[in-house]
Every structure is written in structure tokens, then in C-alpha cells.
Amino acid sequence: MKKISLFLCAVLALGLLGCSDMKGRDIGTLTGAGVGAALGSQIGGGGAAHALGAAGGAVVGGLAGHAVGKSMEKKQ
């Protein structure tokens, strides 16, 4: 499972490199969703619980990342 998490983080990082004109809230949303999915999949017990944990983590992380990115935009 750790290999999958590392792979997903690497894919996310490479995807962000190609989006240099993204706003702070967009970057925050994607980063939060990726980190949330990785952490959520670790919380799940096994089988379908990993997928549910990853999905829930992605949603919560995406919302949190969006809020943080939006507040950072306002400060600039």
C-alpha cells in the first residue's frame, strides 16, 4: 500500500508541475485532495475500506486545501 501512496504522490507532483498558471486555491485543492486520499487510504481497514477512506480523505483534503489556498490568495 505504501508503494501505491508514493506513486500517487509522485503523479500528483508531476501534474502540478505542468500547471504553472494555476491559482493558489487550485493548487491547494489538488494538493489537499492528494494528501487526504493518501492518508485516508491508510486509515481504512482493508478491502473496500481503503477505497472509502481514500475517497473521504480526498473530499475533506480538497475542501481544506481550497480554503487554505483561497485565504493565501487574499493575503497577496
Domain count, the chain: 1
Predicted pLDDT at 8: 80
From the CA atom positions of the chain, what is the Rg in Å?
13
Predicted pLDDT at 20: 66
Predicted pLDDT at 63: 92
Give residue 64's pLDDT band: very low, low, confident or very high (50, 70, 90). Answer: very high
Predicted pLDDT at 60: 92
Residue numbers of the domain that contains 14: 2-75
pLDDT digits (tens, 9 = 90+) for 6-63: 888 787 777 767 666 777 888 888 889 988 888 888 886 777 888 888 888 899 999 9
